[in-house]
Amino acid sequence: MRPIRKMFPGLLLSAALGVTTLAHAADTDLAATQKRAEAGDAHAQVAWGNHLFSSKDRKLRDSSTEWFRKAAMQGDHDAEWMLGSAYMAGYGVQRDGKAGLDWMRRSLADGTPDHMAIFGITLLTMNAIAGDQNDGVEWLNRSVTAGSAQGMNIMGVFHLSGAFGVSKDPTEGERLMLKAAGMGNADAQASLGALYLSDLLGAPKPAEGVRWLETAANQGNADSQGTLAYLLITGDKGVTKDPARGVTWAEKAAAKNNARGYYALGLAYLSGNGEQRDPAQAWFNLGVAERLDTKHQLTKVADHMSEAATQLNAGDLERLRARIEKIPKPEGAS
């Protein structure tokens, strides 16, 4: 299992959870929404802000914050949540954790279960704010009671290790994660996949691990797609090899710029499992994986690149390196 703090990479930037956008709405609908927003309609301000926030253009995304502020000042809870999340992420405003938490806390008056869960994990992961550990766990427990699959998954993971003062109870952790996974939560399905591949519940269950990873992968979870690809290509963790299926999942993950997907593809080209052996393609895909792996989780990627490099000349490596450098790094990466 990954360290607790690395299992929820997107939660602090989860302002877009549950956001409905107008990205595919007709231009007339967009114009009407913008007009109502400009006239002071809070719901329209939130909808227009959501539309701007969904843009790939950072300037447009940043501009959404002011619309959320206008609606939040009128007491709209969705807007309060989005404004708080903007402060946490630094979208359109200077990053300010205290202001972010204040606005997010106000929004919880509407009782949205997943917001309670995200607020709880946010409190727990903001180490600079003293005394929030118990409060964070309390909000997570509230979210579970309210039916949040996200909260169930997080508390399930905490029970596995006894993190943040939660009682260590792997059986309860598995129960919560199974319930969340059964509700269709892809994060919980991915967590279960990792759990059953580990020895935290006794002997690993590779078939069960693969089944849950594939369930999450079928929902579009890119990390699960990449992890599943790696396992099927290499046969690691006792998983039965199926390189062809592994390459299919690797390509899907790589199409989403997922480091694990590129890593799995690189290994396929390096070993000849699922793809014809090709050291140039291996080195390229492994290099992209290294570039995208901002959390440095792929600890052996450099070794595999060195193996592929022994079969290439300096000119090959220079051309491949130039191609890799054209791949955009994840937002926020140095």
Q: pLDDT tens digits for 164-182?
A: 889 999 999 999 999 999 9
Give the confidence band of 18 by pLDDT, cuts at 50, 70, 90.
Answer: very low
Rounded to 10 degrees, what is the CA torsion of 13, 49, 104, 1? -20
Distances (CA, A) of 149 to 67, 144, 187: 29, 7, 9
CA pair distance 305, 300, nearest whole angstrom: 9
* CA neighbours closer than 13 Å in the CB half-sphere of residue 293: 20
CA pair distance 167, 31, nearest whole angstrom: 53
Instruction: Report pTM.
Output: 0.83
Is residue 3's pLDDT more than 90?
A: no
Q: Exposed/middle/buried for 271, CB within 10 Å: 0-12, 13-18, 19+?
A: middle
Structure tokens at 207: 């078939």
Is residue 23's pLDDT more than 90?
A: no
Centre a 10 Å sphere on the Cβ of residue 82 and count the other Cβ atoms it contains. 29
Instruction: List, for residues 37-69, the tens digit of each pLDDT value.
Output: 999 999 999 999 999 999 889 999 999 999 999
CA pair distance 37, 33, nearest whole angstrom: 6
258, 222 contact by CB (below 8 A): yes
For residue 136, the one-letter residue type is: G
Structure tokens at 27: 């231009």
Stated length of the chain: 334
Instruction: List, for residues 219-278, the tens digit of each pLDDT value.
Output: 999 999 999 999 999 999 999 999 999 999 999 999 999 999 999 999 999 999 999 999
Structure tokens at 66: 């002011």
DSSP codes, 274-329:
SS---HHHHHHHHHHHHHH-TT---TTHHHHHHHHHTTS-HHHHHHHHHHHHTSPP
Instruction: List, for residues 269-313, the tens digit of each pLDDT value.
Output: 999 999 999 999 999 999 999 999 999 999 999 999 999 999 999
The residue to which tokens 């690189």 are assigned: 266
Give the confidence band of 26 by pLDDT, cuts at 50, 70, 90.
Answer: low
Mean pLDDT of 63-88: 96
